[in-house]
Structure formats: structure tokens, C-alpha cells
């Protein structure tokens, strides 16, 4: 699965709160492949990037959990992603169908 999303970092690995200055929303072209969520500036990112770049902004989703962020009311169509290493992100999608599709895809790969 692929598509544009907005991402906000809430907690870094080991549940450490993401510091101010790095907590903003940022747009990415997101590609889910082989249990890794790759985040690029745009849809050409994969082609242009070295594998080391690809891994730089990648999130491993093995043993991760995606849930609708019903408690986050500032934006619509947002889901929360909690990873095995206890990082936490919010992702805003374009509509409720995309939201369900991302949540299901992440949880059932």
C-alpha cells in the first residue's frame, strides 16, 4: 500500500517523548513493503534514494499496532501507530476509507 499521509512524531524509541521542535506535522509519501513503512518526500523517493536513505525514515511495523486516534480531535482521519520499540506516531489520512485501509493493512500484514 502507498499514498500521501501527514505524520506527527509523539514518542521516540523506548517511549521517550519526542522533543519540541520535532513534534510537527510533515507530509510524506508512504510505502508499506515487507513489514516496513518507508517515508519519502514524494512518490519518486524510492527510485531516487539509496537504500540507506530509504531506511533512514523507515518505521518497522513488525509487532506494531495501528488504531484510530479517536482521542486526537485536532485533525480528522488520524490513526496512531505504536511500534515494538515503543515509538508512537500519528498519521493523518485523506478520508475515512483511507484511514481504515491503512489501519487494516498495517495490522494484518
* Binding residues for ligand I3P (CB under 6 A): 20-25, 74
Q: How far is the CB of 19 from ligand I3P (least distance, A)?
A: 8
State in angstroms the smallest separation of the CB of 72 from ligand I3P: 7
Task: List the grid coordinates of 15.
Answer: 517511549
Residue closer to ligand I3P by CB (options 52, 73) is 73
CA–CA distance, 1 with 13 (Å, rounded to integer): 24
The residue among 23 and 44 lying less far from ligand I3P, judged by its C-beta, is 23
**Closer by beta carbon to ligand I3P, 23 or else 56:** 23
Chain centre distance of CA 49: 19
**Strand residue runs (E) in the chain:** 2-11, 25-33, 36-40, 59-60, 65-68, 78-82, 88-92
Least distance between ligand I3P and beta carbon 108 (Å):
28
Amino acid at each position: 500500500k502507498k499514498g500521501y499521509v501527514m505524520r506527527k512524531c509523539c514518542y521516540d524509541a523506548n517511549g521517550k517523548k519526542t522533543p519540541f521542535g520535532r513534534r510537527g506535522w510533515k507530509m510524506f509519501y508512504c510505502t508499506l513493503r515487507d513489514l516496513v513503512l518507508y517515508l519519502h518526500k514524494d512518490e519518486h523517493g524510492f527510485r531516487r534514494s539509496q537504500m540507506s536513505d530509504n531506511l533512514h525514515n523507515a518505521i518497522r511495523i513488525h509487532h506494531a499496532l495501528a488504531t484510530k486516534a479517536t482521542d486526537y480531535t485536532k485533525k480528522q482521519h488520524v490513526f496512531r501507530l505504536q511500534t515494538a520499540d515503543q515509538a508512537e506516531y500519528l498519521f493523518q489520512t485523506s478520508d475515512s476509507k483511507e484511514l481504515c485501509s491503512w489501519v487494516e493493512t498495517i495490522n494484518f500484514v
